[in-house]
């Protein structure tokens, strides 16, 4: 029988023994090691703070145009709890840019370094402005709370210079954002040094902290006649968070609204159907849009 396209010499028939050996060799081959997923626009800076005595990591996400537009400076968002929320916010940015509802910015997630950092304990100290009640907010003792003043100095004196000498940051458009304890600190920073940031995004802030410390602090700030003109403030909470927590947030939002700060752009929102952690994707999505509204 003629075989089209080949010569008799080209036809090789494997014996059953040879075929079995080839199958066995194939099945014994180890699969290639999977590659690690790398967030292409990001880099990490390790920083020890003499002010707080802690080791930090600054996770920096650069915008797409950073390399192609070397003369351009970008707004910057300092994101608290970067160990949890950097990847979330970094992933939201692409869709918001596609929809042309924000502009490109540099994202700086503030996290902790060192061997196996205890994030809950570290953040409970840094993000609380007062010692508060014993054991509140996940901290084990009063000594572990109330590091907010030193942490604010860390941002201003140590983190800002590192970021702003390494990257092309527009220091006239800094933003600060955080959730829960991070939202508590975001509001504390606004009342202490409103000049440091142009936008404050406080998600589900821990307003019950220390017998409603923020309620007292807001009244003191209002009485001082200090200005929030030109600032942007986002306040949000999930409708399905702990009932007392949600109600405390809504009461605080109303207190700020009633203060009617001249020149302050304020947006408050109760996000329906969301709990304390699950509220973050929608809250950050909307808060970022608000930060860039004209």
Share of the chain above pLDDT 90, in %: 81
Question: What is the residue extent of each domain of the chain?
Answer: 38-291
Evaluate whether 207 touches 218 at the Cβ level (below 8 Å): no
Closest CA to 294 of 103, 131, 121: 103
Summarize pLDDT for 240-268 with one digit per residue, the tens: 999 999 999 999 999 999 999 999 999 99
**How far is Cα 63 from Cα 79, in angstroms, rounded to an integer?**
15
Whether the CB-CB separation of 148 and 131 falls below 8 Å is answered with: no
**pLDDT band for position 194 (cuts 50, 70, 90):** very high
What is this structure's pTM?
0.87
CB 102 within 8 A of CB 288: yes
- In this predicted structure, what is the pLDDT of residue 37? 83
* Cα–Cα distance for residue pair 17/288, rounded to 1 Å: 66
Taking only the tens place, the pLDDT of each residue in 117-126 is 999 999 999 9
Rounded Cα gap, residues 91 and 74, in angstroms: 18
User: Rounded to whole angstroms, what are the CA distances from 10 to 2, 4, 5?
Assistant: 13, 12, 10
Query: What confidence tens digit (pLDDT) does each residue in 35-76 have?
Result: 888 888 999 999 999 999 999 999 999 999 999 999 999 999
* CATH label, 38-291, candidates 3.40.50.720, 3.20.20.70, 3.90.1150.10, 3.40.50.1820: 3.40.50.1820
Dist. CA 150–CA 4, nearest whole Å? 84
What's the distance, CA 181 to chain centroid?
13
pLDDT class for 139, splitting at 50, 70, 90? Answer: very low
């Amino acid at each position: 029988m003629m075989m089209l396209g080949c010569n008799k010499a080209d036809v090789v028939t494997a014996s059953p023994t040879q075929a079995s050996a080839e199958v066995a060799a194939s099945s014994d081959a180890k699969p290639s090691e999977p590659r690690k997923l790398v967030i292409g626009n990001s880099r990490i800076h390790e920083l020890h703070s003499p002010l707080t005595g802690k080791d930090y990591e600054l996770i920096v996400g650069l915008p797409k145009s950073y390399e192609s537009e070397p003369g351009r400076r970008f707004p910057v968002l300092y994101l608290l709890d970067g160990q949890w929320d950097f990847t979330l916010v970094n992933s939201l940015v692409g869709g918001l840019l596609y929809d042309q509802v924000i502009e490109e910015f540099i994202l700086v997630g503030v996290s902790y370094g060192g061997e196996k950092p205890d994030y809950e304990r570290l953040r409970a100290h840094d993000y609380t402005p007062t010692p508060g009640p014993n054991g509140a907010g996940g901290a084990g003792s009063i000594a572990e709370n109330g590091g907010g003043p030193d942490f604010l100095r860390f941002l201003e004196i140590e983190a800002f210079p590192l970021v702003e000498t390494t990257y092309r940051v527009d220091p006239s458009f800094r933003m600060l954002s955080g959730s829960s304890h991070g939202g508590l600190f975001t509001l504390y920073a606004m009342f202490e040094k409103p000049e440091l940031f142009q936008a404050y995004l406080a998600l589900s802030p821990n307003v019950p902290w220390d017998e409603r410390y923020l309620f007292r602090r807001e009244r003191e700030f209002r009485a001082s006649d200090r200005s929030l003109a030109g600032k942007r403030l986002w306040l949000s909470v999930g409708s399905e968070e702990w009932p007392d927590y949600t109600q405390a947030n809504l009461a605080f939002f109303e207190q700020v609204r009633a203060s009617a700060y001249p020149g302050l752009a304020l947006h408050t929102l109760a996000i329906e159907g969301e709990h304390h952690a699950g509220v973050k994707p929608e809250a950050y999505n909307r808060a970022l849009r608000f930060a860039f509204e004209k």
